[in-house]
Amino acid sequence: MRPGPPARAGRPLRSYALVCAIVGLLAAPGRAQDLPSAPLSLGGGRVVLGTDIAVTVGERDEIGWFNYTDYEHNALRTLRLAVNGEWRIASPIALVGELRAENMSSIEPYALYLRVRPWRERAIDIQAGRIPPVFGAFGRRAYTNDNPLIGYPLAYQYLTALRADALPATADDLLRMRARGWQVNYPIGAPTFEPGVPLVTAFRWDTGVEVRAATGGLEVAGAVTAGTLSNPRVDNDGKQLQGRVTWKPLVGLVLGGSVARGEFVDDAAVTAAGADADRSFAQRALGADLEYSRGYGIVRAEFIWTEWDVPAVALPSIDRPLQANAGLIEGRYRIHPRLYLAARADWLGFSKVTGTLFDRQPVSWDAPVQRVEAGGGWYFRRNLVGRVTWQHNWRDGGRLRHKSFVAGQLLFWL
Residues 6 or more apart in contact with residue 204 via CB below 8 angstroms: 70, 71, 110, 232
Average pLDDT over all residues of the chain: 89
* Model confidence pLDDT, tens digit, residues 50-75: 999 999 999 888 888 999 998 888 99
Q: pLDDT band at residue 146, thresholds of 50, 70 and 90? A: confident
CB 180 within 8 A of CB 168: no
What's the fold here for domain 8-413?
A: Porin (2.40.160)
CB 54 within 8 A of CB 149: no
Q: Please give the residue that has the higher pLDDT: either 244 or 267.
A: 244
What confidence score (pLDDT) does residue 39 get?
87
* Model confidence pLDDT, tens digit, residues 160-216: 999 999 999 999 999 999 999 999 999 999 999 999 999 999 988 999 999 999 998
Among 126-130, 232-236, 393-397, the minimum mean pLDDT is found in 232-236
Judge whether residue 396 has pLDDT over 50: yes
Q: What average pLDDT does range 275-285 have in this prediction?
A: 88
Cβ count near 337 (within 10 Å)? 8
What confidence score (pLDDT) does residue 5 get?
43
Among 55-69, 97-111, 158-172, 392-406, the minimum mean pLDDT is found in 97-111
Q: Please give the residue that has the higher pLDDT: either 108 or 259.
A: 259
What confidence score (pLDDT) does residue 10 get?
42
What confidence score (pLDDT) does residue 8 get?
41
* Model confidence pLDDT, tens digit, residues 332-379: 999 999 999 999 999 999 999 999 999 899 999 999 999 999 999 999
Judge whether residue 414 has pLDDT over 90: no
Residues of the chain with pLDDT > 90, as a percent, come to 74
CB 402 within 8 A of CB 28: no
Q: How far, in whole angstroms, is CA 296 from its chain's centroid?
A: 27
What confidence score (pLDDT) does residue 4 get?
42
Distances (CA, A) of 335 to 148, 338, 339, 370, 409: 14, 8, 6, 28, 20
Each domain of the chain, given as residue ranges in start order, spans 8-413
